[in-house]
Structure 1
Amino acid sequence: MFQRDYFMRMIEQMSVVVGQVMGLRRERKQEEALLVIDELLDREFRLNAKLIRSLSDRDLIAMMTRNGIVETANVYAIARLLKEEGDLHEELQRPESSYPSRLKSLHLFIRLALLDAPSVLKTPTEEAFELLADLKGYELPAETKQLLLEWHEAERRYDLAENVLYELMEDDVLTKADADDFYSRLLLLPEESLEAGGLPRDEIIDGRRQLYA
């Protein structure tokens, strides 16, 4: 009951904050909106934006884990506030600040999706895809691509997973053996799952064959 009450309170609080930020954005008061975000982070989590930027997504997840259970509502709140922060910096024409906020937010939302965390304002997957669209013009780090590969495969978007796989091979991060393992995993799945994931069995077999052509 306590966890449910806390989760509902977080949904209500996030709705209020996001509404407040959006209102300030409409009034072109982005700097004030950034202060609202900083104040909430400090009040709710005792973390300021500077500290959050210095911590990895893994560190933030670890900090929000109690007795082996990730407090997903808290992680969602931090991820969403970073997303809003990124949007505000973008409107202020500060790509050097917008990019890291959005990238860290993306990592956190993907990790929430992998944890099958419940929705707060949107599902973690919806939030992550919106951030990917925002980051479309950037070359993403290898660490991000590896996380994307894991996420796409876990959520059965096998065609997208294959695309990221080949990017990582071009970056010399993954090898042909890694790709072979990926295809081998997929070949264990039923045809209907592969079709739904956009990568039919014949394409998998062909892709695997081309690795060693």
Structure 2
Amino acid sequence: MFQRDYFMRMISQMTEAIGQVMGLRKQMKQEEALLVLEELLDKHFRLSGKLIRSLTDEDLMKVMTTNGIVDTDHLQAIAIILKQEALLHGELGRETECFGLYNRSLRLFLRLSLMKAEPTLVEPNEQIEELLELVREYELPVPTKRLLMEWHEAEGKYDQVENVMFELVKERALPAQDAAGVYARLLAKSDEELEAGGLPREEIRQGLAELSLDKKESVTKE
């Protein structure tokens, strides 16, 4: 009961703070809005905002895990706040900070979706789609692309799996044999699943052939 009451208070305070942030943004008071979000981070998560931003998403998940249970509610809240901070930094022309925070928020929402976390605050998949649009002009880091590829596969978006996979192969961030392993998993799907995912079986076979050709050319050059 106490935990539920605490959670409801946190939602109420977050809603109030986000509303305050939106009001400050309209008044062009982004720095003040950032202070509101900083206070929100410091107040609710047993960690300072500075520490939260310094931790990787993997480490943050470990910190937010008790007796093997991940506190997905708090992770959702943190991801929301980081996204709001990114918007503010973007409006202040701080592109590096803006993209870094968008990336952090995106990775948290990807992990929450892969965990099938209950959407108690927001729907992770909706946030992911929105964040992907916001970072469309940026080059995502390799670890984020790998996580994104995993998410696309879990969501049955097999054409998107292939798109990200070939980006990683071209960047030499994914060995051809690992990419072939992804194709092998997809070939185990039914024709109906593959069609629904935008990647018919014949296109997978063509992709495998292209992988083999690229591998042979690479060996020849060496």
TM range (shorter): over 0.9
State the distance in 1 between where 2:51 and 2:195 align: 44
Check conservation: 2:76, 2:122, Cα contact below 8 A: no
1:6-54 deviations in Å (ceiling 9; x for gaps):
5544443332222221111112111111111110111111323321221
| Residue in 1 that maps onto 2:70 | 70
Q: Within 5 A, what are the aligned runs for 1:48-87?
A: 48-87=48-87
Describe the shift of the 1:91–1:120 C-alpha distance in structure 2 as closer, same or farther (beyond 3 A).
Answer: farther
Question: Are the structure 2 counterparts of residues 43 and 10 from structure 1 closer, same or farther at C-alpha, using a change threshold of 3 Å?
Answer: closer
Deviation for aligned residue 1:140: 1.2
* 1:2–1:115 distance in 2 versus 1, CA, 3 Å: farther
TM-score (norm 1): 0.93
**In the alignment, what sits opposite 1:15?**
15
Does the 8 A contact of 1:15 with 1:121 survive in 2? no
Rounded Cα–Cα distance in structure 1 between residues aligned with 2:196 and 2:5: 37
- Greater relative CO (CA pairs within 8 A, separation 6+): 1
2:177 corresponding residue in structure 1: 177
Q: Deviations over 1:121-177 (max 9, x none)?
A: 431111112112111121111111111111111111111111000010011011211
Contact 1:37 1:81 in 2 (8 A): yes
CA gap 1:161/1:10 in 2 versus in 1, 3 angstroms: farther
Please give the per-residue CA displacement for 1:49-95, whole angstroms capped at 9, x wherever unaligned: 32122110101111111111110000000111000000000011111
Q: Using structure 2 for the length normalisation, give the TM-score.
A: 0.90
Deviations 1:179-211 (A, max 9, x none): 111111011111221111111112112211222
Q: Which amino acid letter does the alignment assign opposite residue 208 of structure 1? A: L
Quick check: 143-152 or 47-56, which moved more? 47-56
Q: Matched residue of 2:22: which SS?
A: helix
Q: Report the aligned-residue RMSD.
A: 1.6
SS of the residue corresponding to residue 173 of structure 1 reads: coil
* TM alignment of 1:101-112, pairs within 5 A: 101-112=101-112
Taking the aligned partners of 1:89 and 1:120, their CA distance within structure 2 comes to: 27
Between the two proteins, what is the percent identity of the paired residues? 55
* Structure with larger Rg: 2
Does the CA-based 8 Å contact 2:102-2:131 persist in structure 1? yes
User: Shift of the alpha carbon at 1:5?
Assistant: 5.0
Say if 1:131 and 1:161 are closer, same or farther in 2 by CA, change over 3 A.
Answer: same
Task: Quote the residue 1:47 is aligned against.
Answer: 47
The 5-angstrom pairing of residues 146-165 of structure 1 reads 146-165=146-165
Paired letter, 1:139:
E
Worse-matched range after superposition: 75-84 or 90-99: 90-99
- What runs of 5+ residues in structure 1 fail to find an aligned partner? none
Q: Decide whether the 8 Å contact of 2:83 with 2:101 is kept in 1.
A: yes
